[in-house]
Structure 1
């Protein structure tokens, strides 16, 4: 009787939610977070966040229009965890954003900052 109970409990645990859980672990990765990242350093709000590998880490680079150089000038990047990356490039009147997402390794978004 005890063996049947343990067998039933084991099967219940394996089939919890209607599908087997063995081999279905969702890998988590650590992303760097920073409100103002520039020249390889976090100037404001350094930290980290954990996301699922199918979500990702984002490096969002900000460019502002400069009247002095009559063109776009890099200002800083923001590093974060995201559900969706968003459009690769977003153009607005006085600034634009470049979004680069990754999920191949921990803190991959540091390497993708365009600073």
Structure 2
């Protein structure tokens, strides 16, 4: 009986200890309005303990004269980040996700549609 109890204890504790050390927390940049290399509103950081991690969303506006032009970027943490491109009439939102490196969502100047 003692061996069974010890085995159950080890099976319950080992995964928690083992998996806790696999993925260290990731620190992400937060900015609700990032333009021309500067955060204009909502500058801070967030920490993702688990999950997909840091998110970058580029917002583009379409005009007949210029085509798709970057309007602004938002940076944050997001549990369910999926890389994607969303279109709604003259608005396009491009989503980029990253994890495993602090500030991996630091804006890289994508800027093209």
Structure-2-length-normalised TM-score: 0.76
Report the alpha carbon displacement of residue 37 of structure 1 after superposing the two structures with TM. 0.8
Q: Is the 8 A contact 2:51 2:80 kept in 1?
A: no
Unmatched tracts of structure 1, length 5 or more: 1-7
* Residue 87 to residue 29, structure 1, CA distance change in 2 (3 Å): closer
Q: Which runs of 5+ in 2 are unaligned?
A: 1-5
Residues 40 and 53 of structure 1: CA distance in aligned 2, closer, same or farther (over 3 Å): farther
Q: Which has the larger radius of gyration?
A: 1
TM-score by length of 1: 0.75
Whether the aligned pair in 2 keeps the contact of 1:59 and 1:112 (CA below 8 Å) is no
* 1:61 paired to 2:62: no
**In 1: Cα distance, 2:109 partner to 2:66 partner:** 23
Across the aligned residues of Structure 1 and Structure 2, the Cα RMSD in angstroms comes to: 2.3
Which residue of structure 2 lines up, in the alignment, with residue 89 of structure 1?
85
Q: 2:33 aligns with which of 33, 36, 58?
A: 36
Match of 1:102 among 98, 107, 110: 98
Shift of 1:70: 4.6
